[in-house]
Structure 1
């Protein structure tokens, strides 16, 4: 296990060494992305300059109720000898109740220890869901212990509101505890409908992005292609989700402008969608979930081209109609 830094000590922010995008591993070892193909994606991702893997104890689900993504990452790290790739993993989610977090101190510490045992390396630990039933001081103390005990090298949160992130950081600073420096909201060019499914998922908005920028946090957004809506057209496994979540007049208009601009820039729509996120806010490392090597290479090339996305282009892409 890697030795974690002392709380309060400076550590390089993730965005400085991650490469243009983080590789999401939710489907690793599932029928959609079996082990051989997942390992091929890991190899290609590394060749493309990627250095940040996004996983969780509940990624790589199997029908028997087990999860295998963390173990596959550990196998890949061990067999390749790669030492400059960082891992984000998570704690506090019961897959049987995805709308609820479980951030009781013993849960945080136990899951962090188990992830450390599986991964065999240090990681940044994100709280997968919020759990307002647990006092914030208990959460801050428990997450700090995961760093002090050598499991995590840094902390952050996924699907936490701006208000809760602010309070956690303020409490940690006053008590000299480890301050969260990563936030992982749902974020893409297209906002969800007002009554979207999965209301417990927290979507990035201007206040959230402003807070992250003000605090110097790395942003690792997920569903960065609006669950494929930005590139697909109501077909395939996400068709119903597209219709209920993203298919609005604003969504259709933004998708059309994205495709038009991508053609003019000779980029893929998904590449430009990722470049947009990296240009729209500082310290953004979008999480991608490609299924093929071709998709992966296109995503990495697009994310690396953020400098081509000018303020004028951002304004054009974000226009509501």
Structure 2
């Protein structure tokens, strides 16, 4: 059976607070662990009032303390925003706190608009060009190579499972060249999915940590007792996608009954685009759509995305999805 994991953006809902978002993230991680999910990932985004994962490593420490067995990690750390030495220290600390449970998913995008480079005092275009070398530097730290003159402590020789993330062919090429597992963000950028997976598998070179290609693909998944209820739950995230694409992002809005029926042509195209990798409906409907998606992609893992305005509803969705796929 294809493994299931969870991607959580730590959504901050309208009328809610960051403290509530972190409390809900911990509760969701516990629910995922109890339901048998393999990983729980959070993603770095900056200057977005509706997402609480900017300091991803700090959030992961919170998640780690709330759980005991599920792997926790980044989906991802946007490495051009940082330097490899500090990321090695951060994730080495996480590995010391939660041994054998830490994933480090790496992305090349800045995780925000161009203003972020001013705030970070970084030339992000140059940093993006340095991305392959920075990934290699991180690998050298975690391998514990003796020729490294300055050793990150913690971090040197840490047991970190590194992943390459992507939504284009670039990440697929680099993951293949370095022999890393590859996660594709089809939940918001599905256009290059099939070509990227073909490229990754065709060009994959075995590494010390991975002897064959390993693929995880993200889907938006909403399971509920009825199709109508699942569609209602999904409408909060769909509203957020529309607002982001039309230049007015914000906190996660309440759900809207019959949301898709109220859309104009532009909004409908946005929703249809981001819904290409999704499964929304009853447990039976979700199971069939995920199985069809796995058949198409031959994914080794599916990572389940999709925020809900009511945190308890997403916990229920995770449980129903896991039960459906186990049957």
Same fold, judged at TM 0.5 (above): yes
1:31 alignment partner in structure 2? 17
2:89 is equivalent to residue 113 of structure 1: yes
Which 10-residue stretch deviates more, 234-243 or 295-304? 234-243
**1:87 aligned to which of 61, 69, 72:** 72
Structure 1: distance between partners of 2:236 and 2:61 = 35
SS at match of 2:74: strand
Please give the residue correspondences for 1:95-244 in structure 2 after superposition, counting only pairs within 5 Å: 101-102=80-81, 107-118=83-94, 120-121=97-98, 122=100, 123-129=102-108, 131-134=127-130, 136-137=132-133, 139-148=135-144, 149-159=156-166, 161-167=168-174, 169-170=176-177, 172=178, 179-181=179-181, 183-188=182-187, 204-214=192-202, 215=204, 216-221=213-218, 231-232=234-235, 236-241=239-244
Whether the 8 Å contact between 1:45 and 1:296 is mirrored in structure 2 is yes
2:261 alignment partner in structure 1? none
Uncovered stretches (5+) of structure 2, i.e. residues with no partner: 110-126, 145-155, 205-212, 223-230, 248-264
SS at match of 1:286: strand
Residues 294 and 156 of structure 1: CA distance in aligned 2, closer, same or farther (over 3 Å): same
2:255 alignment partner in structure 1? none
Please give the residue correspondences for 1:64-79 in structure 2 after superposition, counting only pairs within 5 Å: 68-77=58-67
1:267 alignment partner in structure 2? 285
Structure 2: distance between partners of 1:254 and 1:38 = 23
Superposed displacement of residue 54, structure 1: 0.4
What do residues 206-238 of structure 1 show as CA deviations (whole Å, max 9, x unaligned)? 11122345542221426667xx99932897544
Whether the 8 Å contact between 1:128 and 1:157 is mirrored in structure 2 is yes
Residues 191 and 158 of structure 1: CA distance in aligned 2, closer, same or farther (over 3 Å): closer
What do residues 288-321 of structure 1 show as CA deviations (whole Å, max 9, x unaligned)? 244423333324433664699xxxxxxxxxxxxx
Uncovered stretches (5+) of structure 1, i.e. residues with no partner: 1-14, 95-100, 173-178, 193-202, 309-321
Structure 1: distance between partners of 2:243 and 2:39 = 31
Please give the residue correspondences for 1:243-254 in structure 2 after superposition, counting only pairs within 5 Å: 247-248=267-268, 252=272
Superposed displacement of residue 285, structure 1: 1.7
Please give the residue correspondences for 1:274-289 in structure 2 after superposition, counting only pairs within 5 Å: 274-282=290-298, 283-289=300-306
SS at match of 2:73: strand
Higher share in strand: 2
Q: RMSD of the alignment, in Å?
A: 4.7
SS at match of 1:187: coil
Residues 139 and 243 of structure 1: CA distance in aligned 2, closer, same or farther (over 3 Å): closer
**2:41 aligned to which of 41, 54, 62:** 54
Higher share in helix: 2
SS at match of 2:186: coil
Structure 1: distance between partners of 2:237 and 2:180 = 38
Whether the 8 Å contact between 1:116 and 1:151 is mirrored in structure 2 is yes
Superposed displacement of residue 187, structure 1: 0.7
Structure 2: distance between partners of 1:136 and 1:253 = 30
SS at match of 1:157: strand
Superposed displacement of residue 24, structure 1: 2.1
TM-score (norm 1): 0.58
2:57 is equivalent to residue 40 of structure 1: no
Residues 141 and 35 of structure 1: CA distance in aligned 2, closer, same or farther (over 3 Å): closer
